[in-house]
Amino acid sequence: MHNIDTDFDINLDEISKIEGAASLEIKVRNKKIEDLKFSISEWKRFYTQAIRGKPATAVPQLVARICGTCSNAHLLASLEAVEKGLKVTPSPQTMILRKLLYYGLIIRDHALHLYIFSLPDLFGKNSILDLDENDPIQKQLLEDAFAVKEVGNQLSIVIGGRSVHAPMPTIGGFLKLPKLEDIKALKPKLLEIRPKILKLIELFAKDPSDFTLQAPVTYCGLSSDDFSFLEGAIKTSDGVTIQEKDFGTHLNGVIIPYSQARGFKFDGKLLMVGALARINNDKDRLHPKTKESVKAYLDVFPSHNLFHNNLAQAIEIVHTIDSSCDLIDGLNAIENESPIKIQAAETVGVGLIEAPRGTLYYKLEISADGTVKHGDIVVPTGQNQIVMERGIYELVEKLLAVDTPKDQIVYEIEKFIRAFDPCMSCAAHFLRVKWR
């Protein structure tokens, strides 16, 4: 028998191994949660205010700085918003290159989360730095982690000029086009990392972590024939299809009674976005080779086990490898296209893409002089906030009911938050949540 504390406080000042800063305070008395505060401790940088009055053409490079890890998602979503507003249709070559740039992001961003943040949990380790180099499996995983990330990194560098805040993509095209031979040279590297990800999938599929919310959740994501993250229409797990431009009207900013923050629901329902939502809704649209290679693992989807977000991300890496190889095979030349010239107009544009962590929405109102009058940005972690916080609460209640020691509760909470792969740098638009 071990002694179980019935009264204790948990204060996590900075939750580790996530993007950005978040903190958590829980007060437990007589084995019941008296207070639970999950706070985003990022300090706001006020981008939605800062873009007002700036030329719309300058906005994409500025808003890329909202987030270091998914900067290219902010770049492409805001480029789309300006282009849709000004009725600029990017060329097929531009779209192919943007997809390749983006698949590079998905590979390196998901790999960062899965290998660096979540993998140590599977081995009961604090950090990837603690993996045992004398254990051949752990040693190989360490090598795989950096090899996979590097290929995603290189794909983004070759196409966009840099993997973070890519300087080359611009409104209507690219400022400087990549060389065909550099792109072609990436295919063998992509094929080299493919078996590594299949091993990673096997590992996450065996993870016994299981947590399902009691309340029903609507899974939401952009859906296209080629599962491209960049095009298509919003599809929900309730069978509803919505055009990109109308997505904002279905999002309900919610003032949570116990919160000073705005979360989001979708048509009044609990909302979840991200890899789990995408695979739940659209597993049939994955690349045929991906479906063939991972078919044993696709049966669990649609899944309500929120830890399956990890497995879904790993499957998406295989899909982006296979899709990138197809796109590279299809490229026979890089046409010397200049960016399409734009004409300023008073307009409104919506850009919507699937960021690694879920749907990213930009609505930009542009004045006749070409400056931004008003901008609305909704990030994935904002949309997942209500589900994430409810999950923490339910998880802690469940663990308290079976006399789980405090240290174990802390560990399980962090593992749970990490499975969402939240991005606090992006999410600094919502401030504080207080549970009563």
Residues that bind other proteins in the complex, under the rule CB under 8 A: 13-14, 16-17, 19-21, 42-47, 49-50, 52, 62, 65-69, 71, 108, 112, 116, 126-130, 142, 146-147, 149-150, 153, 162-165, 260, 414, 425, 431
Q: Which is nearer to other proteins, 29 or 139 (CB)?
A: 139
Q: Pick between residue 42 and residue 282 the one whose CB is nearest to other proteins.
A: 42
Cα–Cα distance for residue pair 317/365, rounded to 1 Å:
35
- In the chain, the amino acid numbered 419 is A
CB-nearer residue toward other proteins: 188 or 239:
188
Instruction: Considering the complex, state which of residue 106 and residue 294 has its C-beta at the smaller distance from other proteins.
Output: 106
Q: How far is the CB of 163 from other proteins (least distance, A)?
A: 6
Minimum gap (Å) between residue 212 Cβ and other proteins = 26
Nearer to other proteins, 6 or 127 (CB): 127
Which of residues 394 and 411 has its CB atom nearest to other proteins in the complex?
411
CB–CB of 20/424 below 8 Å? Answer: yes
Phi, psi of 83 (to 5 degrees): -65, -45
Peptide bond preceding 90: is omega within 30 degrees of 0, i.e. cis? no
Least distance from other proteins to the Cβ atom of residue 69, Å: 5
CB of 235 to other proteins, least distance (A): 30
* Residue 128 or 277 having the CB closest to other proteins: 128
Cβ of residue 89: shortest distance to other proteins, in angstroms?
A: 30
Closest distance of CB 318 from other proteins, Å? 20
Task: For the CB of residue 155, give the shortest distance to other proteins in the complex, in Å.
Answer: 12
User: Measured from the CB atom, is 67 or 77 closer to other proteins?
Assistant: 67
The residue (of 243 and 260) whose beta carbon lies closer to other proteins is 260
Which residues lie across from 347 on neighbouring strands? 366
Query: Cβ 181 to other proteins, closest distance in Å?
Result: 22
Helices 308-330 and 92-111: crossing angle in degrees, nearest 10, is 150
CB of 412 to other proteins, least distance (A): 14
